[in-house]
Amino acid sequence: MATVGKPLQFWTLDQTTWIAGHLGLWLILLAVLLCHGCASLPPGYGLPKTVSSALAHPEQTRLGQQFKAGSHQHSTNSGFRMIQVGADGFCIRMQMINAAERTLDVQYYIFRGDTSGRLLTDAVLRAAKRGVRVRVLVDDGETRAGDEQLNVFNAQPLIELRIFNPFAYRGHTTLFRSLEFMANASRLDYRMHNKLLVVDNAAALLGGRNIGDPFFQMNPESQFADDDVFAVGPIVQKLSASFDEYWHSDLAIPATALTDHSPAPDPANGQDQPTSSSDRLIYSKRAATGEPFNGILSGRLPLVWAAAQLLYDSPDRKQLTQGAENSLMERQLADAIKAVHTELLMVTPYLVPDGEGMQLFQSLRQRQVRVRILTNSLEAAVDESSMLLAHSGYRHYRIPLLEQGVELYEVRSLLGNVKGSGETARIARYGNYALHAKLFVFDRQKLFLGSMNFDQHSMHLNTEIGLIIDSPVLAEQLAARFAAMTQPANAYQLVLRPDGTADSPTLLWRTQEHGKAIDYTTEPSRSTWQKAKAGLLSLLPLDTEL
């Protein structure tokens, strides 16, 4: 099961010579970054911005007309459809953008410059060229080389790109971004984690998926299982209002105010390149089928109509006055959890509950509420930075959770049964599966779906968004997905070893290999080195930052 870790690599003589030769430049850049970092406000703060808002009359668009009858028939309820398959998450975004007639609002934590990101960028450009007004808001916390391809939007008069809480340094050298972060952590640690797409103020898509190949489960090297929900009806206008609030936030900086410091898009990788690679062809052909969007429009894939509550943090949550904390999304979600009577199902990629979260679980268990949680295993940490850090914090809570009576499962990186996983057997066989979904099922009557992980970063340092939907039908769909993902072929169930003592409890990882039950007494991992890194990180006092 484990693989051999990569050997340590050291600088070569040529690399060392290059660094020494450019030391003066590095020192100058460091000084500039530290000066910028000491500023409490982001670059471009306070510059004039255009004022705009969501489309006032969505019923005048084709999509608005399409769902008008259903909205009238179901009064104040909204229509929903779960999008569980990763590739469908990409396709419905392409199809919704292609269907836009008047307005398009795009809000994401991550918008990668990879195959899926470039294809979606192309679709946004085509929408603008046919007269659609486009607003794109992207966070700057996880920007990487290649993501600057979004700057192509700046040349389009009907597209406005804004960056939420940007770094002063607009390049992608990890060292420089890290130095700026350390110099101004109180500001730069505050991130917009929301994921939302709204077309013509008539249809919306939200959930846990960012824009990028791993989030659509079409990249063998990295497969993040996630969920979106497609929505129509009154809830869409509320989602648009949340977007407007972020769009007009002081932290939403026009990209044109930052372009003097931004690398220009590389023409060799630009949007004018033909769709020639096999990856682009696969994505394009899949989207060209029109599914699942056509199925929703025709009624072949029926919507579930239900009441829903929108939860989201203010973009200015850090400035909330004392006494206004109840407006925070974490408090509203905690209230929904406290109201559970019999069973709570939770799917979260990152599980770092801290004291407040542990008290919440304890209160449920004291009332004999069954609590079952699915999260990532160590071996599922395909992204060895954020995922390893999160796992290092999660390790502190496994035994206390089990002692409370919480049932704990960790998803395997190589699934034994792909049904319900959101991806195909062809991709799953690479063994790089990991969770990215954020789902809660309350008594199999209601569900929560959104961007919020059950960790300290989501609860205290990010802005988040999500829906609580009052639908036994959708709740049962997610419960079935939970059952599929926690079967022994797909997950490790953690149990306390019978030979452990009260003073020194130890863990077993219970699973199934080739149809036979097996208990692992040591934590499954990709390599001994991965396990060692997770152990070392767990010694650091980082839980409040995870």
List 88, 105, 147, 195, catalytic entry = 195
> What does the pLDDT average to over 120-135?
98
**Is 193 one of the annotated active-site residues of the chain?**
yes
**Is 195 one of the annotated active-site residues of the chain?**
yes
Which has more pLDDT, 524 or 285?
524
Helix, strand or coil, per DSSP, at residue 493: strand
**Is 436 one of the annotated active-site residues of the chain?**
yes
Which has more pLDDT, 320 or 118?
118
Structure tokens given for 188: 């730069």
**Is 200 one of the annotated active-site residues of the chain?**
yes
Number of CB atoms found within 10 A of residue 7's CB: 7
pLDDT at 267 over 90: no
Separation of alpha carbons 133 and 156, rounded Å: 10
List 105, 139, 140, 193, catalytic entry = 193
pLDDT score at 26 = 47
pLDDT bin (cut points 50, 70, 90) of residue 172 is confident
Taking only the tens place, the pLDDT of each residue in 421-452 is: 777 777 788 889 999 999 999 999 999 999 99
- What are the chain's domains? 60-264+277-298 (3.30.870.10), 326-539 (3.30.870.10)
Residue-averaged pLDDT of the chain? 87
pLDDT score at 15 = 38
Structure tokens given for 511: 């699973």
List 68, 443, 460, 470, catalytic entry = 443
pLDDT bin (cut points 50, 70, 90) of residue 324 is low
**Is 438 one of the annotated active-site residues of the chain?**
yes
Taking only the tens place, the pLDDT of each residue in 193-222 is: 999 999 999 999 999 999 999 999 887 888
For the chain, how far is it from start to end, CA to CA, in angstroms? 28
pLDDT score at 276 = 43
> What does the pLDDT average to over 283-311?
93
pLDDT score at 325 = 63
List 391, 438, 446, 531, catalytic entry = 438
List 105, 122, 147, 200, catalytic entry = 200
Q: What DSSP line would sit under 393-434, residue for residue?
A: HHTTTHHHHHHHT-EEEEE-SS-S--TTSSS-HHHHTT--EE
332-349 b/e (C-beta count within 10 Å ≥ 16 → b): bbeebbeebeebbbbbbb
pLDDT bin (cut points 50, 70, 90) of residue 305 is very high
| Whether 540 contacts 392, CB under 8 Å | yes
| Whether 531 contacts 379, CB under 8 Å | no
> What does the pLDDT average to over 150-177?
94
pLDDT score at 208 = 97
Which residues, in sequence order, are CB contacts of 365 under 8 Å at separation 6+? Answer: 371, 404, 405, 406
47-75 b/e (C-beta count within 10 Å ≥ 16 → b): eebeeeebbeebeebebbeebeebbeebe
31-40, 60-69, 94-103, 502-511: least confident range: 31-40
Separation of alpha carbons 454 and 475, rounded Å: 19
pLDDT at 123 over 70: yes
What pTM, to 2 d.p., does this model score? Answer: 0.89
Separation of alpha carbons 27 and 436, rounded Å: 39
